């Protein structure tokens, strides 16, 4: 418990843009107000995963990410923090509806 840490939270964004925009606002508010108490938590990353069914692939995802510094003592450890997409893919912050 004495080492700095990060948390990753993944969400499937399948309820439509209006619902996901509200969910995103609630998640951002929760991250901003999160109190890790005595733990050395530095960052929280949220991953929004919007599944797609393209005709030329078995499955695909649109992944966007947001992050918040909780108690940062150093720069973000992950600048390209994808969970599903290849690290070479274009990084986008915020919700998938913001293109």
pLDDT in tens, 36-87: 888 899 998 888 888 777 777 777 777 888 888 888 888 888 777 776 666 6
Number of domains composing the chain: 1
Q: What is the pTM of this model?
A: 0.73
Q: Is 82 helix (H, G, I), strand (E, B) or coil?
A: coil
Among 97, 37, 36, 91, residue whose Cα is nearest residue 68? 36
Measured distance CA(91)–CA(79) in Å, rounded: 9
Of residues 89 and 7, which shows the higher confidence score?
7
Measured distance CA(9)–CA(11) in Å, rounded: 7
Give the domain extent around 37. 1-99
CA distances from 29 to 33, 46, 92 (A): 6, 12, 19
Tokens representing 78?
A: 């992950």
Tell me the per-residue pLDDT of 1-14, one tens digit each, with 9 for 90 and over. 578 888 888 888 77
């Amino acid at each position: 418990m004495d080492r700095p840490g990060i948390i990753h939270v993944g969400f499937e964004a399948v309820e439509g843009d209006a619902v996901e925009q509200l969910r995103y606002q609630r998640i951002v508010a929760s991250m901003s107000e999160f109190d890790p108490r005595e733990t050395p938590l530095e960052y929280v990353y949220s991953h929004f995963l919007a599944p797609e069914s393209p005709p030329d692939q078995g499955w695909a995802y649109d992944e966007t990410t947001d992050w918040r510094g909780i108690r940062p003592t150093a720069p973000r450890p992950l600048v390209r923090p994808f969970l599903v997409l290849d690290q070479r893919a274009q990084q986008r912050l915020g919700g998938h509806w913001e293109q």
